[in-house]
Structures are given as C-alpha cells and as structure tokens.
Amino acid sequence: MNDYTNENADIFDEPQKKKGFTFGKLIKWICLAFIIAVCAILFARCYMYNDSPIVKKVITDSKFTDAYNADKENFEVLQYGIKSSWVAIKENRLIEFNYLYYVPKTEQLQFSVKYNLDLPGKDVGLPFKFKLTDSDGNEYTSYTYEFEKRYGYGYYRLCFDGIKLENDNTAETDKNKSYTVTIEMKDADGNYSELCTNEIYNGSTVCRPVDFSKYLK
C-alpha cells in the first residue's frame, strides 16, 4: 500500500486542549507570593537593624587633617576593644558603645553611643552630655560629635581631644591609662543628671589599624 497524505483532511490529530486556571496553580502562586513576602520582610528587617554608618566613622577635623598631611607615613588610627559594650538603663533600654578609635598623632579618642530615642522622653532635643575621666582622676569635657537618627535609635559619634593613653610614669606599670565615660541626660526642664558610666577603655595595648582613607576631606 502506498503511503500518502490526504491534504484535504480537516484534522489529522486532535489538538490538545489548553488547561485553564486550576486549583493546583492557585496553590503554587500563593506559595510563591508567600516566599517572596517573607524574603522581603527579612531583607527589610535586616536593613532596619543595621546601625547608622556613623558608628564606625573616623571623624577627620582640621586637627586630624593637618597632622596627617604633616606626616602621612607615620600617621595611623588604631581600634581598641571595649570590655563592656553596653549598659542597662531601665525598662529594657540599653546604652551601647562601639568602635573605639585612638589617633596617636592628634591625641583623639573616638567612639559611638547608641540609644533608644524614647529613652529621654519628648522634646528634649539632643539629650546627652558626655565626660571622660582617666584612671588618675583627670576629667575631659572637650569633644566634638556627629549625630544621626535611624529607625527608633539615636547615634552619637564622639571625638575627645587631649587624650593620652600612656601613663606618665611608665616605670610603675606597663599598662596604659583607663578611661571611663559618664553620660548625663537632660530632662524636660533642661536640667542634666547622671544616667550611666562605663569604662570605655581599660588600658589594653591590643589594637589593630583602621583604614581611614575614605574619610579624608
């Protein structure tokens, strides 16, 4: 028998019927939408819980810049650890301390303070004053700062001047001075009272260099 094709035939094969929207497809799209929503929420929460970039910033004022330009090869910024990085205040509120830097050439000590914005109450503006006290009892109140708010938190980046880590009498001890920060908080009447203290630097000599090039003006 000869094979041939009947070109006049209307249909050789039954066309497959396209499937419409099914319950299985509905479940599939619901699951996909749920996964995307969960990923978006996790991404948003991770972003919100990231601290402000100023917490690790190297403050480069004119004193810093002048000293750097005068001796670039020997200029350095050193990071030290903080023994206790937070202090409990009240009602599950904390004061956090981070990124302790020291600049030997300018005798500047820099660190960050993070707090809940609802801690000081309403309408007090910038709520804190800061003071450093060394292990010899000397007090330091000269500082500059940068401030930023981010997702319910306030961030201070502080830079204290005139700070020497080495002891004046190195024969007595090979350990550096220690420094304690005192924070005073302003109330609605504009009066300040002590909120907390924390040893910001314990005299350790363990440190590492910090890359500050992107902060140079």
Q: What is the pLDDT of residues 166-198, one digit of tens each?
A: 876 655 556 799 999 999 998 888 899 999 999
| More confident: 6 or 70 | 70
Residue with structure tokens 């819980």?
A: 49
Lowest mean pLDDT among 86-95, 96-105, 207-216: 86-95
Give me the domain span that covers residue 66: 54-215
* Beta bridge partners of residue 154, listed in sequence order: 115, 149
Please tell me whether residues 44 and 109 are part of one structural domain: no
Please tell me whether residues 76 and 38 are part of one structural domain: no
Domain annotation covers residue 135? yes
CA dist 176 and 212 (Å) reads: 24
Please tell me whether residues 28 and 62 are part of one structural domain: no
Please tell me whether residues 100 and 174 are part of one structural domain: yes
Q: What is the mean pLDDT of residues 149-177?
A: 84
CA dist 161 and 106 (Å) reads: 8
Q: Which residues contact 154 (CB under 8 A, 6 or more apart)?
A: 114, 115, 116, 117, 127, 147, 148
Give the mean pLDDT of the chain: 84
CA dist 168 and 152 (Å) reads: 43
Domain annotation covers residue 160? yes
Domain annotation covers residue 121? yes
* Beta bridge partners of residue 144, listed in sequence order: 159
Domain annotation covers residue 43? yes
**Token duo for residue 33:** 């939408």
34 phi/psi in degrees, rounded to 5: -65, -45
Decide: residue 24, CB within 10 A, 0-12 exposed, 13-18 middle, 19+ buried: exposed
Whether the Cβ atoms of residue 152 and residue 175 lie closer than 8 Å to each other = no
62 phi/psi in degrees, rounded to 5: -65, -35
From 13, 32, 51, give the residue that closes a domain.
51
pTM: 0.76
Domain annotation covers residue 203? yes
Extended strands (E) in 128-206: 128-134, 139-140, 143-150, 153-160, 179-186, 192-201
Domain annotation covers residue 156? yes
Q: Is the pLDDT of residue 43 over 80?
A: no
